[in-house]
Amino acid sequence: MQKNENTSLVTKTVLFAAISTIGFLTSCTTKPAIIEGTKANTVEKLAMGKTVFENSCAKCHDLPNPVDHSAQDWVGIMNSMAPKAKLNDAQHAIVYDYIVSVKK
């Protein structure tokens, strides 16, 4: 019995060390991805902005067409519509970026 308990303690210690190592390695390998990934992040953010736009901005009226207003006008429109659509600041920003990206 005593021997088994010791074995299981060793197993637990080894497992804990392995999990810590994996966690450490993961935290190291994800950092360069964030630094390099600026362009991919932008593409992802625009895709997220599109999704939020399509899901949030057609509830009260038809989905607006980004080309109907200037980028400048969209600042004001988003300032009045983001609270109506209950967007947080991050969603407000990605929806605006998506709208402006469609116009180009």
CB of 8 to ligand HEC, least distance (A): 56
> By C-beta, is 28 or 67 nearer to ligand HEC?
67
Tokens encoding 53: 């736009």
Place of tokens 């429109």: 77
Phi then psi dihedrals of residue 69, to 5 deg: -135, 155
> By C-beta, is 41 or 70 nearer to ligand HEC?
70
Q: Which stretch binds ligand HEC (CB under 6 A): 2-10, 11-19, 41-49, 82-90?
A: 82-90
Place of tokens 């920003």: 93
C-alpha to C-alpha distance for 9 and 86, rounded to whole angstroms? 51
C-alpha to C-alpha distance for 28 and 36, rounded to whole angstroms? 14
HSE, side-chain direction, 13 A CA sphere, residue 39: 1
Residues between 62 and 81 with contacts to ligand HEC, criterion CB under 6 A: 64, 69, 77, 80-81
Interface characters, 21-50, with ligand HEC (x: CB under 6 A): ------------------------------
Binding site for ligand HEC (CB under 6 A): 56-57, 59-61, 64, 69, 77, 80-82, 84-85, 87, 95
